[in-house]
Amino acid sequence: MTLRGAVYGITASAIWGGMYVVSDVVLGTIPPFALLTLRLLLGGLALLPFVLPLLLSASTPRPTVREVVRLMSVGVLGFGISLGAQFIGTDLSTAINGTLITSASPAFIVLFGMLILGERLTAASAAAVSLATLGVIVIVNPEAISFSADSALGDLALAFAALTWGLYSVLVRLVSRHFDTLLVTLVAFVGGLLLTVPAAFIELQMRPVGEITPLVVLGVLYLGLVSTAAAMWLWNRAFALVSASTASLFFFAQPLVGALLSAVLLGQQMTPALWVGAALIVAGVLVALVSPAEGARQRFARLLRYNADETASS
């Protein structure tokens, strides 16, 4: 379960790391909230054919109206408020500030995991998050960071985005306990649209869409189908399979892949700092995955399930 959750979470973050190269092209034509709305619509349409058979199946738990409202509220938080704040912060601040500030999300995930899920912070988890955070700082290069008055509002929005994404990720683990991850993700998309659609409508009055080229169309399709439908499902699934403190480490693949793609596709230099930062991030993830405490908990859980099955069959 831990290995599968790691594959899901790291793949999702890797997709998001590559997303920024595509977003740079598309955002020059389509405003942020309009693009986010398109992403959620395309993502929802892509997931719908997989969710419908689940709803028609008698064995699939169906959420009540109250539970649907809860799932949609989680979507409003993650896909409306958090991603909206990230767009605003990126627009008002700098990309390098955004990379550093949003890397605080794993720390918030660990915090909310303790407060909401009652997860215990182990020494291994703390060391893993610290190592990976240090890796991001090394990659970003603190000398290039500027927390000036001009970017203060944007930096505050980015910090709020990091906090709310941490809260969203933990709440997804909470609601995924009883329902299929595909269903949870689709309903969350609908919740996000409740906020992004009116925001996009207001935004388009001030900033209309530019010329739509084939490259822009391909970019929108990639952002909607791959980085939204596929990656969001993978991220939600990762949090359904492993503890929040462990899953938080997978987020660090995002800045790492972004830096590597910038070097490969944009011609930026592969500096020693990039290699050192990458090694620290990988070390942090490995510490979390091979934690003896985590392994002991999983073995104990398997033993309990085995005993329960034996009791039921006897």
DSSP codes joined into one string, 100-156: HHHTTHHHHHHHHHHHHS-----HHHHHHHHHHHHHHHHHH-GGG----GGGHHHHH
Question: Which ranges of the chain does DSSP label H, i.e. alpha helix?
Answer: 2-26, 32-56, 65-75, 83-92, 95-102, 105-116, 123-140, 152-175, 181-206, 214-221, 231-241, 244-247, 253-265, 272-289, 292-313
Whole-angstrom distance, CA of residue 57 vs CA of residue 53: 6
Say if residues 255 and 99 touch (Cβ distance below 8 Å): yes
Cα-based angle 25, 78, 246 (whole degrees, multiple of 5): 100
Place of tokens 């660090």: 252
Q: Per-domain residue ranges for the chain?
A: 2-123+146-266
Buried b (16+ CB within 10 A) or exposed e, 203-237: beeeeeeeeeeeebeebbebbbbbbbbbbbbbbbb
Predicted confidence pLDDT, tens digits, the chain (314 residues): 567 888 888 888 888 877 766 776 787 888 889 989 999 999 999 999 999 888 888 777 888 898 899 999 999 999 999 988 887 777 677 666 666 677 778 888 888 888 888 877 777 777 777 777 777 667 666 565 555 666 678 878 888 988 999 899 899 888 877 788 889 999 999 999 999 999 999 999 998 988 899 989 998 999 899 988 999 999 888 888 887 777 777 877 777 776 676 666 655 556 676 677 777 777 776 776 665 444 444 444 444 444 444 444 44
Neighbours of 190 (CB within 10 A): 17
Residue 196's nearest CA partner among 87, 63, 60 is 87
Burial class (CB in 10 A: 0-12, 13-18, 19+), 291: buried
Q: Model's pTM, two decimal places?
A: 0.76
Helix 253-265, helix 272-289: angle, nearest 10: 150
Sign of CA dihedral 32, 36, 42, 43: positive
Say if residues 228 and 119 touch (Cβ distance below 8 Å): no
Residue 293: predicted pLDDT: 46
